[in-house]
Amino acid sequence: MSETVTERLVALASGAPQASGRLGAGIPAPESMRRQLSIRAVAVLAILASAAYLFWRATQTLDLSVWWLSVPMLLLEVHALVSLLLFTAPLWDLDAVRPPAPVDSTVAGLAVLIPTYNEPVDVLLPTVAAAVRISLPHQTWVLDDGDRAEVAALADAMGAHYLTRAERTHAKAGNVNHALGHIEADIIALLDADHVADRNLFRNTLGYFEDPRVALVQTPQDFYNVDSFEHHDQKARRWLPWAPGGARRSVRFSEQELFYRALQPGRNRLDAAFCCGTGAVIRTGALRSVGGMATDTVTEDIHTTIRMHRAGWKSRYHNEVLARGLAAADARQYLVQRVRWGTGAMQVLRRENPAWVSGLSFKQRVSYLGPLLGWFDSWRTLGYLLAPMLVLLTGAVPVRAEARTFALAFGAVFVLQRAALRLLSRGMAPQGIATIFEFIRLPATLLATGRLFSARERNFVVTPKGRTGDKRARMQVPRLLSGLLVASVASAAWFVASTLGLTPTSYAVPWVAYAASAWLVVNAVLLSVAIARIRRERFGAERRASVRFDVTGTAQLGGVPAELVDASLTGALVTMARDTRRVPQFGESLVLDLELGAGSQRFWVQVKSVRRPDGSSAVAADGYVIGLELRHGQDRERAGLALALFATGAPPRLVAPKTPEPSEHPAPLARPALAQALVH
């Protein structure tokens, strides 16, 4: 890669990369003691109130004449308390370990390993380009289980080593273990094929390894495709008085943020932060001492960490975004991931259960049981969906209590539990959207947890990345969710018919039936929202080979002035003035010159569309909208562009065009129209 081009593109941005959720990418400021005490006080109060409530429920309200319903409902509430306890343990203190100073020089041998199997070159290119540019001397290895000539050529062009193997057993874990026999490094960093690293990945994590017993430093997984299925933009609840028109502040929800920015940092206190497969920095000697990456589960990351902890090694979590990857773009990708993760958790529980294996401390056992047993929360969700249906269909009364007494007791505990969950999660899991995702992943987690009792070997299933379809086809809704919604509607109809005396069901305690019907309606609404999200056209099959970034920059297309509107590693969108002297034609090959800081960079492109904002091919009053596709064979140039768009540690930013004179070109086109002008 040209050093001049690379340095020029790296200089386009500065600062830390934007995170895709509520928190910034940097290390969060330590919480004040006052805030910590208030969170802990509410959590303890919720736990004590829940325990007292459950004692009252078990001794005073249980109707054993309908034990088949009353006992399971009580057990669901007991499970909720256990989950709250396991949730509280890691979130008690997020600041137990503060980060060390950055390391600017080291005698340790460093290597970056990028395992890949079938990911497209367009996904791999920014990962490899950024990995080569990580600070401190190191080697970069592309571990290709696909044995592809184009990936070998990419690695060579980027200055990385390429390694493949003849026998591709044990998927990613086997791939990494094979590499351990070919590299000489004291510390390795693992990056998934789609994870683009910040230059400070080694610099900001090596300080932890001054403790000779530290084997692993894990960093957060974060994502650059913020329009993914896992992200949701919503308005903040607080009004901002100074905002124009009293508008609310927009907050982005990232489904994995709670885990990576709160639960994992909290495990530092328990010495139980675990490897998450990518963004992990590992002491090679520690990894070799436990036989390499675990190969007998499909979640080799957490399994390997358990073995390290059993052997006496320590782990640390560095709560700073130092790599960003691709989040699941649609429901299918999302569910495929969750099935694999859940299946791996069940394999760990069967083969190396932290509850009773030797070598772990009590705190580590509690910490590991939280995420492993957390997969069973979906059975509680399913129970809460089925319970009101059973009450309305059978007329059974599972709670024997006066309406007002039960409402006050249940309501107080429910509010306290919700408050505790919100405070413990530090606002990263708003109850509404978090519950929607609970419903969405229900089919995957039920399938995965059912495998706890199956000894059948499960293959590692790679999550599809990059282009997954030629058109934006809506996703199919899992049958379980459709069936539950139909059952909810049928139960509501049965309730109405029963109240009119049209069925043999009667409701001996009316308030129980009315409460169940209200519960049913809430469930049905949440199910409908979950299904609607899965079916949204926005989350259909991914047509783009790489993520598109909204950027602003000056450009020349075929020597004619233009303005850059968005760019990706496969294409760009530009606008040209209405009175331009020559309009590009569809299919024409041209040169695109982009102004990139200290100079310009040239790309060969093909015109894929010539449109105005309303989508027609005629000239618009504002000018032309030109869709461009980068021609193949420009990996060096695209690598430089990747560093500017992905890996420089800042929001993507090219050089903004100067304010135009009225005679030069018209005003910029409206963004809503531009967003629909081209899919590339």
| Active site residues per annotation | 145, 301
Cα gap 141→188, rounded to integer Å = 10
Write the CB contacts of 246 (distance below 8 Å, at least 6 apart in sequence): 239, 240
Q: Which two tokens stand for residue 580?
A: 């331009």
Nearest-angstrom CA–CA distance, 154 and 157: 5
Within 10 angstroms of residue 538's Cβ, the number of other Cβ atoms is 12
Which residues, in sequence order, are bridge partners of residue 218? 280, 317
Distances (CA, A) of 414 to 3, 144, 407, 619: 60, 51, 10, 60
Question: 461 near 404, Cβ under 8 Å?
Answer: no
Structure tokens at 232: 């949701």
CB 115 within 8 A of CB 176: yes
CA nearest 518: which of 483, 481, 488, 482?
A: 488
Q: Give the count of beta carbons closer than 10 Å to the beta carbon of residue 614.
A: 11
Position 653: which residue type?
A: R
Q: How far apart are CA 142 and CA 131, in angstroms?
A: 10
Nearest CA-CA partner of 199 in 99, 319, 104, 326:
104
| Among 91, 95, 96, 94, CA closest to 423 | 91
What is the phi-psi region of residue 204: left when phi exceeds 0, alpha when psi lies from -120 to 50, beta otherwise? alpha
Length of the chain (residues): 680
CA distances from 596 to 224, 373, 552, 557 (A): 21, 50, 11, 15
Quick check: helix, strand or coil at residue 537?
Answer: helix
At residue 519, the 3 state secondary structure works out as helix
Q: How far apart, in whole angstroms, are the C-alpha atoms of residue 55 and residue 48?
A: 11
Residue of 329, 356, 328, 360 lying closest to 341 (CA atoms): 328
Query: Do 385 and 484 contact (CB within 8 A), yes or no?
Result: yes
**Would you say 194 and 126 are in contact if contact means Cβ atoms under 8 Å apart?**
no
CA 162 to chain centre: 28
CA distance 419 to 424: 8
Angle between helices 331-351 and 362-373 (to 10 degrees): 140
> With contact defined as beta carbons under 8 Å apart, do 287 and 180 qualify?
yes
124, HSE (Cβ side, Cα atoms, 13 Å): 27
Q: Give the integer Cα–Cα distance in Å for 151 and 468.
A: 19
